[in-house]
A = this chain, B = another copy of it.
Amino acid sequence: MHTEKPLILVVNDDGITAPGIKALLAVVKSFGDAVIVAPDKPQSGMGHAITINSTLHVTQTNVDGNLAYACSGTPVDCVKIAINKLLPRKPDLIVSGINHGSNSSINVIYSGTMSAAVEGSLEGVPSIGFSLLDHSIDANFTSASIYAKKIIKSVLEHNSNKNLCLNVNFPNLKEELINGIKVCRQAKGNWQEDYDERTDPFGRTYYWLTGKFVVEEDGSDTDEWALDNGYISVVPVQSDVTNYKIIDTLNYLENV
Contacts and interface: CB of A to CB of B under 8 A. Distances in A.
Interface residues of A, number: 82
Contact of A47 (B49, B106, B147): B49
A12 interface: no
Interface string A212-256: 000000000000000000000011111111111111011111101
A89 to B, nearest CB: 16
Contacts of A186: 240-242
A28 interface: no
B42 A53 contact: yes
Interface in A113-169: 115, 118, 122-123, 147, 150-151, 153-155, 158, 161, 164-166
Contacts of A74: 49
Nearest to A50: B45
A238 B186 CA distance: 12
Contact of A207 (B56, B204, B209, B244): B56
A81 B151 contact: no
Contacts of A208: 55-56
A82 B197 CA distance: 14
Q: Which of A45, A181, A190 has its CB near the most chain B CB atoms (within 10 A)?
A: A45
Task: Please classify the interface of chain A as helix (H, G, I), strand (E, B), loop, or mixed, using the class held by over half of its residues.
Answer: mixed
Interface in A167-204: 180-186, 188, 190, 193-195, 197, 204
B150 A185 contact: no
Given A154-B253, A183-B253, A45 B56 contact: no
Contacts of A122: 106, 190
A109 interface: yes
Nearest to A188: B240
A193 B57 CA distance: 16
Contacts of A240: 185-186, 188
A79 to B, nearest CB: 10
A201 to B, nearest CB: 13
Nearest to A111: B48
For the complex of A and B, 8 pairs with smallest distance between CB atoms: A47-B48, A238-B243, A150-B256, A236-B243, A47-B47, A185-B242, A45-B52, A56-B207
